[in-house]
Structures are given as structure tokens and as C-alpha cells.
Amino acid sequence: MEEPRKRSRPGRAPAPTGRTSRPRQAEVARLAGVSQATVSLVLADKKQGATISEETRQKVLDAARELGYVPDPAARRLAAARNNLLGVFSFTATFPTDVQHSYYPFLVGVEQEAAACGYDLVLFTGSSSGGAGAGGPDALSRVRLADGCLFLGRHAPADELRRLVADGYPVVHLGRRDELEGLAWVGADYVSASREVVDHLARAGHRRIVLVREDDDAPASTDREHGFLKGMEAAGLPAGPAAVFRSADPERELTAGRLREWLRDGVTAFVAEETDTGAAWRALCNAVREAGLDSPRDVSLALLGSPPADLADGPQPTGFDIPRPELGAAAVRTLAALVAGEDAEEPLVTCLFRPGATAGPPPVTT
């Protein structure tokens, strides 16, 4: 896609008659019919997050001229003051430093890249705000102690992140968040990786495959399901609603009896998503064991990610590996570029296919 050409900033227009206060970005946003985050990015001449069309840029510039908007010089001076600190915010009660925690490899990449870029880190958690999304409009205000902040978590408080972006504060989310306009993010290509897993199973001879996932609309879950369904369609396999088992509590609802019903209906392979809880993969493995089945002899299993720590000693599952250290490092590079006022790309990092030992050809029926 061709990048929109940058426009010069609008000159100062006379303030509307009868007005005594300085026009705000929120007023420019209302007049232009766009979000405040978009106004912030256009007026700062940055290309953070989703591409902003030339038409939208022009609407913002015209609205700014009409209102006589000019940036607050005090705010600009504050933004120019840097202390070489990058924040890392985790929406957890305590910071996940256990080597078995799924966030830990991300943090390894973050720490190494921050040191290479000449930054120290400030670690924040959700403890003082009651966890993700709690604490009201100022719950994330303390991250401003750092020059910019990297956020980790499947469920981030959208309104608060929008507010930070609208204020011009450098923010990067580790994981796709393109539903939040103007928010920069670095993510893994779960769509292509999930499709590759389905292709592997289809080439092994499986004609009926079911995806087991949590009832969760997080972008990481949505991307995995999208890739799974694309892989099913590409292989000419049934990709309707029956191909996805979505449960709020897979460990309770995915029983051995339900698994046997699927097998009687011709399902020969199951794919589970990885999440922070590991519930889908754990439920699938438990159901296979309780049904007295063997994987891959009786049924093939695949995991879209890595197994939870308590199952890591078992057979290596077929699936893909998430390059967590590389993602952490890429997020720091993106954040450092934003702090420096530079354009920042949003890399989509490739996940590596893992052959594993839990999938093979479908069982021979007599």
C-alpha cells in the first residue's frame, strides 16, 4: 500500500470569535468527525498504528485551521524531556518473572533490546489499579514516569490506552490491537501459522478437524481461529460452525464422552489454541486420556502455540512456536523509535512450525 504523503502543518488561524480558551484536540476531533487519537497523530505528523488516509488527514488539518488550534508549547517542552526509561506494564497483580510463565521469554527479549538501545526499564503491574481495566481513568497515569510504555496482556483497557495515544504518549502493545486506532503494536503472525498446522494435518490425510478454543474475543484467539478456518477452506475441508468448539470453561465442558461423539462422527484430529490459562490444551489432553485413547495412534492433536508449564514434560505437541524473545525485542525497537519521534514499523513476526509427536495419519478403519 502506498504511504500517504506528509502534509505541512497548518498555520495558526484566528481563534473563533468570542472564545477565550485554547482549542483542544477533542474539539478538532469532533469537528473533523474522527477520533482524538487520529487528530494527535495527524497534527504530530506521525504514522503510528493503522495508516491514516489522505482524506482523513485533510479533514483534521482543515478542522484545526477553522478552530485556530495550535499545540500547547508547555506540553511540547514536557514531551521533549527524556530520562532514558521505558515502561513495561503487565496487567497482572505481580510481575511475571517466573521462568515458566508465558510472559517470561517476552521479558528476556525486552530487557536485552532495551539495554542494547541504551534504556533502563521501569516495571508496572495492575496491582494498584485492581488489575486489567480497573481503577478508573487515571489507572495508567503512573506509566508517564517513563518516556514510553510497552503493554503486555490479552485484555488491555481500551479507553485508557486511547487516552495515552491521544495525549501523544508513546505506547506499544505487544500483540495485535489494530481495533484501537492509532495504537502501535507488534504481533505474531498467528493466522499464517495456524493455517500451516491445518495444512500439515490435511496432508497427513485428516478430513474432519475440530478447533478447541476458549470463549474469548482477544485478537490472538481471533487470529488463530481465522487461520484455522482459512486452512480448512484451502484444503477443501468442512469449515462451518461445527469445526470450532468454543467454550467458556473447556476443562469442564470438554469431556471424554464428548470426545467419543466427535470420533464417531468422523473427527480424527483436534487443534487447541494456546492462551495464558492453557485451558483448551489441558482439557483436550485430559479428555483423550480419560477416553483411554492414544495420541497419535487413535487421534491426532495439535497446539497453536506452546503447552502450559505443567504439561511441558509430556510429548512435544505438533503445532508452532511463538518467537517470544524476538517479539519483545521488536516491541522495544518500535517503542524507542516512537520515543525518538521517528516513524515506526509494526512488524508481524513469523511463528515457526513444530512437527511434534502428537499428530500422524488418521487411524485405519476396518
Confirm if 177 and 185 have CB atoms less than 8 A apart: yes
What is the reported pLDDT for 9? 30
Q: What is the pLDDT of residues 22-49, one digit of tens each?
A: 677 778 878 988 766 677 677 766 544 4
The reported pLDDT for the residue numbered 137 is: 47
Instruction: Please report, rounded to a whole number, the percentage of residues in the chain having pLDDT higher than 90.
Output: 39
State yes or no: pLDDT of 11 exceeds 70: no
Distance CA 332, CA 338 (A): 10
Q: Which of the two residues, 133 and 144, has the higher pLDDT score?
A: 144
C-alpha cell at 201: 494435518
Please, which pLDDT band fits residue 4 given cuts at 50, 70 and 90?
A: very low
Residue 186 burial by CB count (10 A; 0-12/13-18/19+): exposed, middle or buried? buried
- pLDDT band of residue 257 (cuts 50, 70, 90) is very high
What is the predicted pLDDT for the residue at 296?
94
Contact indicator for 193, 220 with CB cutoff of 8 Å: no
Highest average pLDDT, of 144-148, 159-163, 340-344, 362-366, comes from 144-148
- By CB atoms closer than 10 A (0-12, 13-18, 19+), residue 303 is buried
Q: What is the pLDDT of residue 27?
A: 83
Residue 18: CB atoms within 10 A of its CB come to 5
The one-letter amino acid code at 157 reads: P
Q: Which pLDDT score is estimated for 57?
A: 85
Instruction: For residue range 327-337, list pLDDT tens digits in order.
Output: 999 999 999 88
